Amino acid sequence: MDALPEIDFVMSLILPRDVHQSIYDRYQMEAMLNNTTKPIVFVSPDFQGCKAAVEMCEAVAGGVEEFKKHPFATCYINVTSGMIINEEALQKLIYLANKGLPQLWIPLNAGGVNSPATTAGCMASMNAGIMLGVVLSQLVKEGAPIAVPGWNGGPYNLQTMVGNYVLADEQGVATSMGRYYNLPVFGLGGSTDSKVLDQQCGIEMTISLTTALLHGANIVHDVGFMDAGLQGSLQLLVMANETIGFLRAATKGVKVDDETLALDVIEEQGPTGSYLSHPHTLKHYKEPFYSKLFDKGSYSMWEKKGKLTMEQKAAKVVDDIIENHIVDSLPDDVQTKIKTIVKQEQDWIDSK
């Protein structure tokens, strides 16, 4: 995630299995802080973990006030549903609002299970939980930053009873509500319910990214997740990185001015002139989106390069990043502070 240029923030994709499962998130946060300079979204199963993560961020920032001024990390708060707010979620909300830190307040529904099966009814009951969090955060501290969910505002998959990532009917519904309130939206995209990197995977990854972009989600998470969140794929991350670049280029709009219209160049070259070596071409030819992963050459060129599939090329990129990507290390004293916080959490769980 740190190496891929179209991935703007880092969020845990894989859960560590070699640590105590009650505090896995503390070790996860330590790993993220030590291996990226990008903003971070963190998840904690309990309130104590949220506090520990904030304390680690404060250690990196250089103090409580410094982190508050430049909050480079935010907590993704999983709320039971639109109509049931669990204790840990409320504790996190009040704690973060008191500190004036941003939070992602995410009550989700399953239409037809814990809310009406209709999209409108599901979103209405989910909206109740969203508004509860927004209002409560402002009662705790007016102006406390908060973001709302951009998915799960529609019917559940009642054929399989699996919490799917990509369902047609809910695409854009929750995001549109968040935009209506003029609040930041924590969207979802780049994910799939497929179990392998197949056609379904590519379609769902692309559709979910496209709808998140077009409906205006601000932070789009779960890029690289598969199998309804039970798998994570580094290859899919690489593939999604290229897709995000393509979509950004396709939707950024076209600048129209004297330089880009180039009417003087057209007049100079005339109807049959070649633009290949013209200074205007040399000035602008690098501006279009050129994918490093999609194959755009001839069949003979593809054969000459080894007949690699996109999956195989993505695997090579993953290997290269793991082998060669270097992140600037945190100062030794900061690493020690973070490690001390994690050790305190380990000692706390060991004493229980």
Nearest to 133 by CA among 173, 183, 172: 183
pTM for the model: 0.93
Residue 352 pLDDT greater than 90, yes or no: no
* Confidence at residue 132, expressed as pLDDT on a 0 to 100 scale: 97
Q: Give the span between the Cα atoms of 133 and 105, in whole angstroms.
A: 7
pLDDT in tens, 59-107: 999 999 999 999 999 999 999 999 999 999 999 999 999 999 999 999 9
Q: Give the span between the Cα atoms of 190 and 225, in whole angstroms.
A: 7
- Tell me the two tokens of residue 69: 């001024």
Beta strands in 29-68 (DSSP E): 40-42
Each residue of 179-214: b (16+ CB within 10 Å) or e? beeebbbbbbbbbbbbeebeeebbebbbebbbbbbe
Q: Give the span between the Cα atoms of 336 and 352, in whole angstroms.
A: 25
pLDDT in tens, 178-232: 999 999 999 999 999 999 999 999 999 999 999 999 999 999 999 999 999 999 9
The domain ranges of the chain are 10-252
Residue 170 pLDDT greater than 90, yes or no: no
* Confidence at residue 262, expressed as pLDDT on a 0 to 100 scale: 97
- The Cβ of residue 286 has, within 10 Å, a number of other Cβ atoms equal to 7
Banded model confidence at residue 251, pLDDT cuts 50, 70, 90? very high
Segment 1-24 shows an average pLDDT of: 94
* Confidence at residue 22, expressed as pLDDT on a 0 to 100 scale: 94
pLDDT in tens, 133-160: 999 999 999 999 999 999 988 899 999 9
Enter the DSSP assignment of 329: P
pLDDT in tens, 282-340: 999 999 999 999 999 999 999 999 999 999 999 999 999 999 999 999 999 999 999 99
Nearest to 147 by CA among 195, 101, 211: 101
- Domain 10-252 belongs to what topology? TIM Barrel (3.20.20)
Kindly report the average pLDDT of the chain as a whole number. 95
Residue 171 pLDDT greater than 90, yes or no: no
